[in-house]
Amino acid sequence: MDFWFEYASTYSYLAAERVEDAAARTGVALRYRPFLLGPIFKAQGWNDSPFNLYEAKGRYMWRDLERLTADLNLPFRRPRVFPRNGLLAARATLALAGHAPMGPFVREVYRANFARDEDISDPAVLAAILRGLGLDARALLEEAGSDPVKRRLREQTEQAAARGIFGAPSFTVGDELFWGHDRLDAAIAWALARAGASGGSCGFPNDF
Amino acid sequence: MDFWFEYASTYSYLAAERVEDAAARTGVALRYRPFLLGPIFKAQGWNDSPFNLYEAKGRYMWRDLERLTADLNLPFRRPRVFPRNGLLAARATLALAGHAPMGPFVREVYRANFARDEDISDPAVLAAILRGLGLDARALLEEAGSDPVKRRLREQTEQAAARGIFGAPSFTVGDELFWGHDRLDAAIAWALARAGASGGSCGFPNDF
C-alpha cells in the first residue's frame, strides 16, 4: 500500500499518525509517498487550499479536526499559517531514502505543523527534527536541495496526478485509489484481500 | 439527529439506506431533512456538481461508489444523467409530513436514481413510487406543488446553509455537523454521548 501525503494537509496528519501501526498490525507493506498538492490544485483551478477558498468547508474541517484529534488522543493546535509550505519537508523525506526509515521523520514534521505550530518550511525546524532523530541534519538538508531529489519529488507529484490523486491523504493498492484519512481501513482491507488472492504478503520494505 | 440529504447526491444514497437502521439500533431520534445543494453550490461559485467540475474527483467517486455499494450489498447502476434534478422529489418528501413516514419514500427515490436509473424529476416516476407505498400519489404530488411546501423547502435549504452545511449527506446533532456517509457512525456516537449527558433519549418522532 502506498501512502500519498502532503505536509500542508490536515487530514494527512491523522493518517500519518495511524498508517504505520495499521500496516504493521495487518502485515501490509507500506510505502511513504510524499507529493505536492499545489500543482494538482492549480490544475483544478485553485490557487489556495479548498479549505481557504470555500469558507464553510474550512470551518467544518477545523472543527472536525478538533473532534478527530480528541478521539485519536493526538495533540492538536491550529496553525497560525495554513497551508504551510511543505516543499522542503517533502524533499527532506525523499532524501532519507537509504539512510533512515521515513516514518519517524514524517510524524515529527506533522506534529511540528499541527501540534506545535512551527514553520515546517524553515530549514532550522527541519534540522532540529532530524537531529532529534539522531540523523545528520546538515548532510540530509543538503541532499534535500540536490537536483536528483528535486526531480524525484516532481516525478512523484506527476505520478500522483497520473494515478488520479486529487487530494491528500490518499492510499493506493495497485490501481485502486482511496481518498481521505477515513478510508485508511478500507485501503488496508483491499491490500489484504489482494494479498490473499495472490498468495500472501510480498515482503516489500517499509521504505523505498 | 438530523439527516440532511439531496436526491442528486450519490453518497446520500448510501446514507439513506443505512441511517434509519443505525438510528433505530441505537435509539437515536432521526429527522429527515431534504434540502437542495444547487443554491449552496452556486454560492460557492459552482454551477454543476463538483464531481462533474473536477474530473479526477468525479472518476474517483464513481469507482468508490461501485466499491461501497458492493460492500454494503446495495444495488447500483450509474445513472445516465448526473446530477438528476431532485427538486420535485424533495418537495414530495416534505408533502409526506403528517401523512406517512418519510423513510420508505426516501429510499425508493434513491433506488430509482442510483439503482434503476430512472428520472426522479418525472412526476410519473414519483407517482409510481408513492402508489407502490400505498399512498395517494395524486394528492401528494399536488401538495408537493403547493406554496407552503415550496416555501418549506426553500427555508430548509436556507437553514442548511446557515448551519454551515456545504455538501450531502450531512448529519447534525445540536450544533455539531458531520459531513459525509463515512461520518454517520460518528454522528450517532455524538448523539448518544449527548443523550447520555442530558439524561437519555428524548423520544422525538422519526418524522416531523
The secondary structure of residue A49, as a DSSP letter, is -
B44 vs A: CB within 8 A: yes
Quote ipTM for the complex: 0.89
| pLDDT at position B195 | 81
**Scanning the structure block, which residue is given the C-alpha cell 521515513?**
A102
Contact B24, B79 (CB under 8 A): no
Q: Work out the percent of chain A whose per-residue pLDDT is above 70.
A: 94
**Scanning the structure block, which residue is given the C-alpha cell 395517494?**
B136
Cell of A159: 505520478
Average per-residue pLDDT for chain A: 93
Q: Is B64 in Cβ contact with A164 (below 8 Å)?
A: no
Q: Pairing between strand B31-34 and A170-173?
A: unpaired
Write out residues 108-167 of A within 8 Å (CB-CB) of B.
161, 164-167
Lowest mean pLDDT of A49-63, A128-142, B42-56, name the range.
Answer: B42-56
Contact A23, A1 (CB under 8 A): yes
Instruction: Give a three-class secondary structure readout of B118-130.
Output: CCCCCHHHHHHHH
Of B57, B67, B179, the CB nearest to A60: B179
Contact B90, B153 (CB under 8 A): yes
Taking contacts as CB-CB distances below 8 angstroms, the residues of chain A near B64 are 178-179
Contact A91, A150 (CB under 8 A): yes
Q: Is A63 in Cβ contact with B177 (below 8 Å)?
A: yes
Q: How many CB atoms lie within 10 A of CB B190?
A: 20
A57 vs B: CB within 8 A: yes
Q: What is the pTM of this model?
A: 0.91
List, for chain B, all residue ranges whose pLDDT scores fall below the cut of 50: 199-208
Average per-residue pLDDT for chain B: 93
Average pLDDT over residues A65-82: 97
Size of interface A-B (CB pairs under 8 A): 44
> Sorting pLDDT into bands at 50, 70 and 90, what band is A43?
confident
Taking contacts as CB-CB distances below 8 angstroms, the residues of chain A near B177 are 60, 63
CA angle B133, B139, B142 (to 5 degrees): 120
